[in-house]
Structure formats: C-alpha cells, structure tokens
Amino acid sequence: MAKKRIIILGGGFAGANTALQLERKLRRRDDVEVVLVSKENYMVFQPMLPEVISGNIGILDTVIPIRRMAPRTQLYLRSVEHVDVKKQQVTLSPGFDSAATVLEYDHLVVTLGNVADFRQMPGLHDHAFPFKNLVHALRLRDHLIRVLSEAAITTDPNLRQQLLTFVIGGGGFSGVEVCAELNDFVRDCARRYFAIDPDEIRVVLVHDGERILNREMPEKLALYAQELLKKRGVEFIFKMRLQTATPEFALLADGERIPTRTLVSSVPSSPNPVVLRLAVPLNRGRIQSDLKMQVEGFDNLWALGDCALIPNPQEDGFCPPTAQFAVRQAKTCAQNIVAAIDGLPQTDFTFSELGKMASLGHRRAIIRMFDAINLHGFLAWLVWRMAYWVKLPGFDRKIKVGMSWLMDIFCGRELVQTGMDKPTSLIEAHYEAGEMVVRRGDSRTGVSIILAGSAEILSEKEGTDPQVVDELGPGDCFGVTEFLEKSEVKNSIRCRETMDIVVYKKQELEPLLLLPEVRRSFENLRMKNEE
Amino acid sequence: MAKKRIIILGGGFAGANTALQLERKLRRRDDVEVVLVSKENYMVFQPMLPEVISGNIGILDTVIPIRRMAPRTQLYLRSVEHVDVKKQQVTLSPGFDSAATVLEYDHLVVTLGNVADFRQMPGLHDHAFPFKNLVHALRLRDHLIRVLSEAAITTDPNLRQQLLTFVIGGGGFSGVEVCAELNDFVRDCARRYFAIDPDEIRVVLVHDGERILNREMPEKLALYAQELLKKRGVEFIFKMRLQTATPEFALLADGERIPTRTLVSSVPSSPNPVVLRLAVPLNRGRIQSDLKMQVEGFDNLWALGDCALIPNPQEDGFCPPTAQFAVRQAKTCAQNIVAAIDGLPQTDFTFSELGKMASLGHRRAIIRMFDAINLHGFLAWLVWRMAYWVKLPGFDRKIKVGMSWLMDIFCGRELVQTGMDKPTSLIEAHYEAGEMVVRRGDSRTGVSIILAGSAEILSEKEGTDPQVVDELGPGDCFGVTEFLEKSEVKNSIRCRETMDIVVYKKQELEPLLLLPEVRRSFENLRMKNEE
C-alpha cells in the first residue's frame, strides 16, 4: 500500500507546529509521511528578535530549528512555485539540481504567511530596514555599529547628525520593541566606547495613533511604556505617518524631514503570491477555513495561521494572526488530518487568548493577561521570559538559553559585526526634489538608471556657481562616462522631481563590457550623455 | 601644541595589540592620539574559527571586538587606499560620505596581513570555500546544512553522492582543524536528524605531504592526529595537490575527479596590495623591519605581523607569521614608539615560541610545547582551551565564554542557518571538458559570458541524440534568448575546453533593459546567437 503524504507549506509557528503535532500523533505509524516546505530552516520567535539588536540574547537563541521540532518530517528548504489543487501537486523551486521538484500530496496544509509589500512606498522599500527575520535583525545590528563608528570619526556636522538620528516607523508591538532595544543599544555604546555624547543621539518613534500601542494594549499599560521610553530618551511624533525616505532623511506626511541614516519601519504586508494564485476563494486576501481548519469545498486542503481566515471560537470575528492562535490551530489541524485519514470524526478549534506582551528592554515589559490583569515592570518581564523559556524545545536548549540569560547579568554588550551583506548588488534609491544624488569628485558611484522622476546635471567649473546643463528623465542614465573611463564624477547630479533610481556597482558591470555589442551600447550612451 | 598622531593599519593580532599596548603606555596622556584602520571591527582568534562550523562555541566567542581591547583608540572601519610615506599621509576609502578620508600621521604602524591570491587557480577561486574570517565560517556552516538537507530529499543518486562528499585541500593546521570539525558536524547531523546513513558520507583530506602536519608538528603527534581522524571516518590522499574544481567535482593533480559540492581549500596568499605599493624596499614580499620593529631608513615607520620580515631573536631566520609572535612584537613596537616620541632609548624584541597546537574536535587536541614536550588527547585540549580563555579580554567575557563552554557538555548541535549570502550577484564558475554547463529545461540560469576556454551548443530534438550545432569561445555569451523571452533553456551547453565563465542572474540584468541602447545590444546578441 502506498504511503499517504501530507505536505505542509510554510515553516512559521503554524506550519512547524502542525508538523510537530503530526509527528506526535503518527508515532510508530509508517503509512503516512509528512513533508514541510520552508525557505528557512528555523522558526523565528518574533518577540525575541528585537533583543538580537542589543545582543542581550544569543543570536541563535531567538530561533528554533524546524528539524529539532519535527525530526522525522522531510524538510524541503525551498520556495513554493505552484500549487495544483486538482492534480494534488505542489511544485517547488529547484535545489542543487536545476529542475523544479514536483510532489504529490494526499493532504495539503497551507500556512504561508504574508509577505512585505512596499509597492506604494518606493522610498521606504529602498531605505528602510525591515524587521521580520533573523537576517534583518543581524543586518540592522551591523548597520548600527557601522553608523556609530562613523559618527565617532566624522568631522562633518551634518553627517554626524544624520548618523546619530534613528527613526522608527510604527508604534505597534514590533515598532515599540525595536525602538526600546535600539535606543538602549546605541546609548549604551555611546556611553561606553565612543567619542559621542549620548545627548547628541536622537531616537524618534513616528506613530499614527495618539499614543503607542493604542490598538494593542489598555491605555494604562501603554502610557507606562511610553513614559518609560521617554525617560530613556525616546522622542515621539504622534498622529503622523512616514511618507517616504531618501538616503539622507525620513520624510513625514506633513513635510517634515528628519535627517537620518537609520530608518526602521514596520512593513505593510500583503498575501503570499502562492496563496493569491491558489484556485480557492479568498476572503480579505485570506483563505476561508472553518473551525476544523478545513478549506471550504475541499476535504484534503487545510489552511491556518496568518494566511487563513478562521472564526474566533470565543468571540465575534476571526482569529487574530498571532503565534498563540497559530500553535493551537496547528494542534486542531493535525488532529483532524489524522482523523480524516483514519475515517474518524473531526473536532472543532477552541481557544481563547491568554494575553499580550511587549518587552521594553532593560528587564522591563508590559503584559495584559486573560483580558483582565495588567502587569508591568520587572515582574512582567520575568513572566514574559518564563513564558518563552517553557516553550523552548529540548531540555538541553532550555539549560543553555537559561544560562546565557543569567550570564547577561554580568556581561556588557558585544560590538562584533557579523558581516551580513545585502545579497544583491543592485541598489535601489529614492530622492526628493533638490537633493544631491552624486557629487563631483565621488569615486565610488556606479551606473544609475532613472526609473521615475527627473534629475539635472550640474556643471561646476572652478570659481563659478553650479549651472544646470541638462535634464534626465525615466530611462536615462548617468555614470556611464565615469564607468568606462574609471574616473571620478565630473558633473554633479541633483534630483529635480521625486526620483527612483537603480544603481549598478561598477565592478558588477565590468564583465559585460567583454561583449562587444554591449560595450558599444555603453559607448553610445556615453556619447549621447556628453552631447 | 598639536597632538602627535599614531596610525595603525590593520586590525589583526599585531595591529589590535599595538593599539592596546599604546593605550596602556599612554594612559593619562593627551598629547598623543592613536588611530586604527581595519576593515572589520573585530579580531579573529583563528584557531577557534573551525569550531564555528560545528556550533561548538558561540559564534561571537571566536572574535574579540577591537573597541573592547582598545576603547580609547579611534577606530576607522575602512580600507586603506594609499599611503604616502613622504607626506606622512594615509588615504582611506570613503565612509558614508562619498569622498575619501586623508589622515596625517607622526608615526605609522603597518600590520596589514596577506590577502588570498587565487590568480593561478580560477576553479578554486570559483568553487572552493575559503576559511579565513567569521563570515567564511558562517557561510560554510550554512552551506553544510543546506547540502545535508538536499541530500536527505534528493532522489538522484549522483547528486546525493556529490552532496555527501566533502573535500578539504591542505593538511596544515587550518586544513586539519576544519576537517575535524566538518567531519564531526556532518556525521553528527546525519546520525541525529536525517534520512542519511553516516556511511554514505565521505570526508576527504588532500595533502601534498606524506602525512598531515608534516611541516608543523613532530611525527609522533601528527600520526596520533591522523589515526584519530581516520577512526572518525576521514579519508586521506597524500602526496597529491588539488588542481582545480568545477561546480560538481574537485580535480586532483593526477586527474582523479572527486564528485563533490563542498570543497574547502587553504588559500595561497600574497602580500597586501597596499604593502606592495608602499615606497619601501620589500624582502620576499614583506617589509624589512629590525628587532625594534622599525623599517629601515625611516624613524617614524614601523612594521610587524605577517607583513613584516623580522629577525628571529632566538634562532636563525625570521619570526614566523603567528599570533604568538605578533602579540609580543606589538608590545615592543608600542614601547619603542612611545620612547621615540619621548626621546628615550629603544629596546629590542626578545621572545621564543611557547608552542604549537591543533584541535581535533570532540575535546581532543595535540600540543608541542617549548620545542620539547608533546601533549595529546583530552589533556592537550584542556590546555588549549585554557590558553585561549586566559587571553579573553574582560572578566565578564571570561565568565560568559567559560559558561557557554560548560553548557556545551549538555547541549546538542544547533542547525540554524544564519542566512549569509555571497555579497555579489556575479557568479564565477569553472568547468572541465565534457561537463554540462546548462541543461535544456533549466529555468533559473542567467546570462553567461565566457572568459576563457570554449563550449558547444547542443540541439536536443525529441527522439534524436544531442547534436553539436555551434561553438562558443571567449567573449561569447549564452542565455540571452532565455533572458529576453523569460523562457526555459532551449539548447544545452557543454564545456569543450576547460572554461571559465561569469554568470549574471536574470533579475540583476533586468533594469539594464530600460536603457534602449542596451536592450538593442542584447537583441542583437540574441539574433547573432540564433543564427
């Protein structure tokens, strides 16, 4: 008899926990196999991620390897390219071999979370640091160390001000927690290591509500958090949104420009493209599941987690997209799939939220429990840590993480960069009117292509004021002469109307010049530009 | 009175320790400032790096932040572009501003280590993992996890064999230590998590000597290490060199091909380009310093560490390029610079080597001390760990690292990938005659440019054998049609003569098509290719 195959798409809380629960229920059975597809081999405990910034916890302590949770599950570290619910097939991106992998399933569990969606906000896409996974956290940390190092040595007061200003967009859980950790980290570093006066540092939180956490927490707790952060030096700008950003400032909806090199922004999200292409009716961009986690009209298709719209069993409306709900949904889902395979009756999902928490750094937190009890300060922080700790899989890991937390009491911050680079060589950038894009004498600038907006070329002869000699628009480029001649920038470029560009580094384009056709086209471009 | 400025180039053991010693000697003096220029903000403790692979020690425990060692030194996280010893100026790469930084010095200390030099070995440059810094170690670790994950799910026996074979080139200290940790890690993972039989795994060490560590260690100790590794499953190929590598195999000097996706190779190194351009006579590519660390003919130029040729005070010949010597040289150098500033007499360098060590994983090591005593096994490992531990800067760090080592006794291996990507989008690759480069039906291949060698285009009509329809040579390209049409590969490409190519990912080239001239050139290329 052929094995039944259950495929789980997505390795977040919902997906990884479904695998874990299936393994428990299928122990000692070899008639069913479980496959999990995930781009990353770990599950992120999102609320701990901000602490990676400050190095308060071990980098790897915020994440749990999926194999550890579900050792007998076949793990595909791939992305999902296509799902065919009629043929019961899933197509995955190629691995080391170059052909795509096609897998057939008996039951399919969809737990693909939302994806970042910056489409309406090119400036934020280009210049804001996202903050969703471990790589983001490590990259932000590396950047903060670099920014402080440069601030300590620069002699340019404008640059110094940009480098020492940190802007966070969004005052929800993630924004507040990132803000708290970032603020602690930069002030602590400044005090301990650098030629920087902590009073020069600005950490600004921009939020559209009239106080932080206005949607998430009762007023009393939120105001406690707000006062605490204020005392630690955080500035708040309320009832305001981030409009866009350029390399040198953040632009607010009211036109205010905050000079900064560090902008962290909560990210607008949209459904995973695979979910959108699924031949299944969507409700508000989410898959409609019932209390059994089953998708309407299918007996072998299940959806849970952030991508599913599931009735909330305790109150009106739907389950919120939180880890607490995902974990319990996973349990129900695993139970029902095994019941379906065995021809047994199915059970409904029941759960009511335990509580909400936000950590505030320096061993402080706020917690709202059972919709009734408020906790704040050190006690809340302790409860929060314990709540995470009991969930760590494996006794050895519990000891290790527990000890490393204890150790933090004695230890200072570590300032080691891990050397995370952006995986792409293509730099996208956004500029506002009047901003300088490249300056005469620059040696590093590459070849830039204008996607939208316009720029002007300035001629700066010695002893005269800069003169506009030409204009550039979408589909035009600059930097070609300097690229071909390996020279410094001759004419400065200034943004005329809000502009988006994409920049190729010189060394990345170099090999293309080996193709005579392409070399000729660059030479033509250069002649055109110089006319 | 103007401050005197001492500039140290390089942040390895020699450079960072010179800064530390200068800070000690200049305490409470504000007439001298110290500047250190380093690309990384940490100093790597090289011998601990292999343990990052297996996750036996915390990722950040192998490195020491330079600021921690020398908090009052001005740290420039930049690269050195030019040194003018006549004008006493150093030019650094730009930071956040785009202009280069020029600094003047009163004393200059050069400690710029060697750089990797693969010029004669394109295949190794393209396909071997280097192993010199933290990023390399993390990248290799991520790769090993990926390789094992794919091996666990692939159905292709050839691919499985490639994925489960690991080749290490070079049986010196670094090669042996990497081999030991890699072997432990992959076998341990295979045993604990995967659908892989540990017996399928091959770990092969290729070395040009007749035993490992033949230049570094007495025969008895080396043979002990060799037997230990053999027992743990390592294969040795002696009196043999790695010739080159392709994406799918390592090629030995005798023509043997070892199918593998993981090749770690010790790297031939050459002097830092800045050292080569220095207007100072070089001896064997190194700067000639005396026992005072002073460069001949200059009273304000000092050189030490790997880039300097310094007489060995205890025996004939010169100081070996090791951390032990660098640390002591740094002390002498700092002392003599302060003496020079104060007009006091200078002192000579005296030191004899304490010992040599190699760690073998699983709490085993070998040590040769004072050129007289041999230690091996657990005791040697303990001595080795202690020797490192006492050098850790700061009491808090000592406790933290000590505890995390203790914890390892209870803890299993962590399988979390950190998500390190190669910072470049350009992929260089090397192929040997007869190897398939791209296959009909591939969907991911990009645009490839041939740098050297040749390839043939195969036409594969259904029902017939592949036919060679055309040849390609240097300056030719393939993949343009597929790039413009966003289609799968139509004709396979096979390597004809040993070939080096550079590959652009499709999405990286996309924006270039916005430039009409360039789009036209690609369309021309396509027509030419299709003729």
| B149:A77 CB<8 A | yes
Which residues of chain A are within 8 Å of residue B410 when distances are taken between CB atoms?
396, 399-400
Q: How far apart are CA B328 and CA A392, in angstroms?
A: 45
DSSP bridge pairs for B32: B4
Residue A495 confidence class, pLDDT cut points 50, 70, 90: very high
Q: Is residue A132 part of a domain?
A: yes
Residues A249 and A297 placed together within one structural domain of the fold: no
**The pLDDT of residue A412:** 57
Q: Which of B515, B519, B527, B530 has the highest number of chain A CBs within 10 A, making it the mutation to test binding with A?
A: B515
Q: How far apart are CA A226 and CA B126, in angstroms?
A: 52
Domain count, chain B: 3
Residues A231 and A174 placed together within one structural domain of the fold: yes
**The pLDDT of residue B422:** 53
Q: Are B40 and A417 in contact (CB under 8 A)?
A: yes
Residues B188 and B92 placed together within one structural domain of the fold: no
Which residues of chain B are within 8 Å of residue A511 when distances are taken between CB atoms?
426, 449, 451, 502, 504
**Chain B nearest C-alpha distance from A438 (Å):** 8
Each residue of A63-93: pLDDT tens digit?
Answer: 788 888 888 899 998 889 999 999 999 999 8
User: Residue A96 is nearest to which of B41, B60, B261, comparing CB atoms?
Assistant: B261
**Chain A nearest C-alpha distance from B373 (Å):** 36
User: Residue B418 is nearest to which of A58, A134, A394, comparing CB atoms?
Assistant: A134
**The pLDDT of residue B48:** 79
Each residue of A181-228: pLDDT tens digit?
Answer: 999 889 988 876 667 888 899 999 999 999 999 888 889 999 999 999
Q: How far apart are CA B310 and CA B307, in angstroms?
A: 10
Q: How far apart are the first and last CA of chain A?
A: 76
* B277: enclosing H helix or E strand: helix B273-277
Which residues of chain B are within 8 Å of residue A477 when distances are taken between CB atoms?
515
Nearest to B59 by CA among A351, A286, A211, A58: A58
Which residues of chain A are within 8 Å of residue B400 when distances are taken between CB atoms?
404, 407, 410-411
Residue type, A34: V
Helices and strands in chain B, H and E counts? 15, 32
Q: Which of B442, B512, B524 has the highest number of chain A CBs within 10 A, making it the mutation to test binding with A?
A: B512
Q: Is residue B463 part of a domain?
A: yes
Q: SS3 string of A188-255?
A: HHHHHCCCCCHHHCEEEEECCCCCCCCCCCCHHHHHHHHHHHHHCCEEEECCCCEEEECCCEEEECCC
Q: Is residue A71 part of a domain?
A: no
CATH code of the domain containing A300: 3.50.50.60
| B451:A511 CB<8 A | yes
**What six digits make up the tokens of B90?**
């150093």
Residues of chain B above pLDDT 70, percent = 93
Each residue of A496-531: pLDDT tens digit?
Answer: 998 988 888 888 888 888 888 888 888 888 887 776
Which residues of chain B are within 8 Å of residue A163 when distances are taken between CB atoms?
96
Nearest residue in chain B measured CA to CA from A446: B98
Q: Would you say residue B226 has pLDDT above 90?
A: yes
- Report how far apart, in Å, the C-alpha atoms of B262 and of each of A36, B179, B256, B271 are: 25, 12, 16, 27
Nearest to A57 by CA among A410, A415, A408, A380: A408
Residues A363 and A484 placed together within one structural domain of the fold: no
What secondary structure letter does DSSP report for B101?
E
Q: Is residue B72 part of a domain?
A: no
Token pair 């207007």: residue: B279
Length of chain B counted residue by residue: 531
Nearest residue in chain A measured CA to CA from B136: A419
**The pLDDT of residue B267:** 67
| B417:A41 CB<8 A | yes
| A521:B521 CB<8 A | yes
Query: How much is the mean pLDDT over chain A?
Result: 86
Residues B211 and B233 placed together within one structural domain of the fold: yes
- Report how far apart, in Å, the C-alpha atoms of B519 and of each of B446, B511, B514 are: 16, 10, 7
Nearest residue in chain A measured CA to CA from B520: A521
Phi, psi of B407 (to 5 degrees): -60, -30
Q: Are B21 and B331 in contact (CB under 8 A)?
A: yes
Q: Would you say residue A419 has pLDDT above 70?
A: no
| A152:B74 CB<8 A | yes
**Chain A nearest C-alpha distance from B264 (Å):** 18
Q: Would you say residue B49 has pLDDT above 70?
A: yes
Q: How far apart are CA A147 and CA A159, in angstroms?
A: 10
Q: Which of B57, B193, B414 has the highest number of chain A CBs within 10 A, making it the mutation to test binding with A?
A: B414
Which residues of chain B are within 8 Å of residue A90 when distances are taken between CB atoms?
none
Q: Mean per-residue pLDDT for A309-314? A: 85
Strand ranges for B432-472 from DSSP E: 436-438, 447-459, 467-472
Per mean pLDDT, which of A337-351, A367-381, B437-451 is the most reliable?
A337-351
Q: How far apart are the first and last CA of chain B?
A: 76
User: Residue B41 is nearest to which of A411, A415, A426, comparing CB atoms?
Assistant: A415
Each residue of B108-135: pLDDT tens digit?
Answer: 999 998 887 766 777 887 888 888 878 8
Q: Is residue B47 part of a domain?
A: no
**The pLDDT of residue B36:** 96
Q: SS3 string of A282-319?
A: EECCEEEECCCCEECCCCCEEECHHHEECECCCCCCEC
Residues A328 and A442 placed together within one structural domain of the fold: no
Residues A337 and A211 placed together within one structural domain of the fold: no
Which residues of chain A are within 8 Å of residue B97 when distances are taken between CB atoms?
154, 156, 159
**The pLDDT of residue B272:** 87
Residues A140 and A99 placed together within one structural domain of the fold: no
Q: Are B54 and B181 in contact (CB under 8 A)?
A: yes
For the whole model, what pTM was predicted? 0.85
**The pLDDT of residue B209:** 92
**Chain B nearest C-alpha distance from A345 (Å):** 33
User: Residue A58 is nearest to which of B41, B58, B97, comparing CB atoms?
Assistant: B58
| B399:A415 CB<8 A | no
Per mean pLDDT, which of A2-11, A409-418, A454-463, B350-359 is the most reliable?
A2-11
Boundary residue ending a domain (A312, A342, A372): A342
Residues A284 and A391 placed together within one structural domain of the fold: no
Q: Is residue B332 part of a domain?
A: yes
Q: Are A219 and A211 in contact (CB under 8 A)?
A: yes
Q: Crossing angle for the helix pair A378-389 and A395-408, nearest 10 degrees? A: 150
CATH code of the domain containing B525: 2.60.120.10
**The pLDDT of residue B153:** 87
**What six digits make up the tokens of A527?**
């002649």
Q: Would you say residue B446 has pLDDT above 80?
A: yes
Q: How far apart are CA A194 and CA A493, in angstroms?
A: 34
Region of B429 (left: φ > 0; alpha: ψ -120 to 50; beta: rest) is: beta
Strands A492-504 and A427-431, by their bridges, are antiparallel
| B517:A502 CB<8 A | no
DSSP bridge pairs for A146: none
| A443:B98 CB<8 A | yes
Q: How far apart are CA B504 and CA B480, in angstroms?
A: 10
Residue type, B150: E
Q: How far apart are CA A8 and CA A307, in angstroms?
A: 13
Q: How far apart are CA B135 and CA B423, in angstroms?
A: 11
Q: Is residue A151 part of a domain?
A: yes
Strand ranges for B315-474 from DSSP E: 355-359, 365-369, 373-377, 427-431, 436-438, 447-459, 467-472
How far is Cα of residue A237 from the mean position of the Cα atoms in its chain?
23
Residue B205 confidence class, pLDDT cut points 50, 70, 90: very high
| B449:A515 CB<8 A | yes
Residues B496 and B475 placed together within one structural domain of the fold: yes
Q: Is the dihedral of CA B483, B486, B489, B490 positive or negative?
A: negative
In sequence order, which residues have a C-beta less than 8 Å from that of residue B429 and are 6 or more positions away?
A: B126, B127, B246, B247, B437, B500, B501, B502, B503
Each residue of A127-139: pLDDT tens digit?
Answer: 888 888 788 888 8
Q: How far apart are CA A229 and CA A250, in angstroms?
A: 21
Question: CB contacts < 8 Å between A and B, how many?
Answer: 258
Q: Is residue B514 part of a domain?
A: yes
Q: Mean per-residue pLDDT for B420-440? A: 76
**The pLDDT of residue A236:** 96
Q: Would you say residue B63 has pLDDT above 80?
A: no
Residues of chain A above pLDDT 70, percent = 93
Q: How far apart are CA A455 and CA A481, in angstroms?
A: 17
Boundary residue ending a domain (B291, B315, B342): B342
Which residues of chain B are within 8 Å of residue A97 when distances are taken between CB atoms?
154, 156, 159
Each residue of B313-340: pLDDT tens digit?
Answer: 777 788 888 888 898 999 999 999 999 9
Q: List, edge to edge, every strand of the sheet that includes A80-84.
A: A80-84, A89-92, A101-104
User: Residue A514 is nearest to which of B98, B414, B475, comparing CB atoms?
Assistant: B475
**Chain B nearest C-alpha distance from A86 (Å):** 24
Nearest residue in chain B measured CA to CA from A43: B416
CATH code of the domain containing A387: 3.50.50.100
Expressed as residue numbers, the domain containing A290 is 4-39+77-114+271-342
HSE of B57, CA atoms in CB hemisphere, 13 A = 25
Each residue of A329-369: pLDDT tens digit?
Answer: 999 999 999 999 999 999 998 887 778 888 888 888 898 88
Q: How far apart are CA B318 and CA A437, in angstroms?
A: 51
Q: How far apart are CA A360 and CA A181, in angstroms?
A: 7
**The pLDDT of residue A408:** 66
**What six digits make up the tokens of B431?**
């192929």
Q: Mean per-residue pLDDT for A293-311? A: 91
Token pair 């195969």: residue: B458
Which residues of chain A are within 8 Å of residue B94 when distances are taken between CB atoms?
442-444
**The pLDDT of residue A409:** 63
| B407:A399 CB<8 A | yes
Residues B379 and B446 placed together within one structural domain of the fold: no
Residue B411 confidence class, pLDDT cut points 50, 70, 90: low
Which residues of chain A are within 8 Å of residue B59 when distances are taken between CB atoms?
59-60, 418
Each residue of B132-176: pLDDT tens digit?
Answer: 878 888 888 888 988 998 898 888 899 999 999 999 998 988 899
Residue A429 confidence class, pLDDT cut points 50, 70, 90: confident
Residues B361 and B301 placed together within one structural domain of the fold: no
**The pLDDT of residue B317:** 85
